[in-house]
Amino acid sequence: MKIALASDHAGFEYKEAIHEWLTAHGHAVKDFGTSNNASVDYPDFIRPAAEAVARGEYERGIVLGGSGNGEAIVANKVRGVRCGLCWSEESAHLNRQHNDANVLSLGQRMISRELALRIVEIWLTTPFEGGRHLGRIRKIEG
């Protein structure tokens, strides 16, 4: 799978671990930055990754920050992106199964590295069940 990956400084360490995990599991990854843990403005990195997913250049995106909230907000401002903030295995499963999310947001300060990697695995492997509500959501997206 082709995956866009981005973080701010507060999500940098997990981004690096996730990048390594994705590559080891055969995924093609484009890292949109940041490149270290020096303070940055997260929209500068999150928005380009979300836009690349919306354009269809990448099948999925993963964005990270301290809490993941701001990153989810920025990603969801991009038409065609359905980004969900996940904090547990169940939230990752439901994010894909019921919402067909194409971008995942994680908060490095909120969960352990091990849980973050497990969430990524679940999120990537859970299929969308389908549903009548998503058609209406996609009409809004345009």
Angle at 54 between CA 48 and CA 60, to 5 degrees: 85
Name the β-bridge partners of 63: 6, 105
User: Which member of 71, 89, 121, 129 is catalytic?
Assistant: 71
User: Which member of 89, 93, 98, 121 is catalytic?
Assistant: 98
98 is catalytic: yes
66 close to 11: Cβ distance less than 8 angstroms: yes
The strands making up 60-65's β-sheet, listed across from edge to edge, are 28-31, 2-7, 60-65, 103-107, 83-85
Question: How far apart are alpha carbons 107 and 110 in whole angstroms?
Answer: 5
57 is catalytic: no
Here the tokens at position 92 are 């990752």
Alpha-carbon radius of gyration of the chain = 14
- Which residues are catalytically annotated? 71, 98
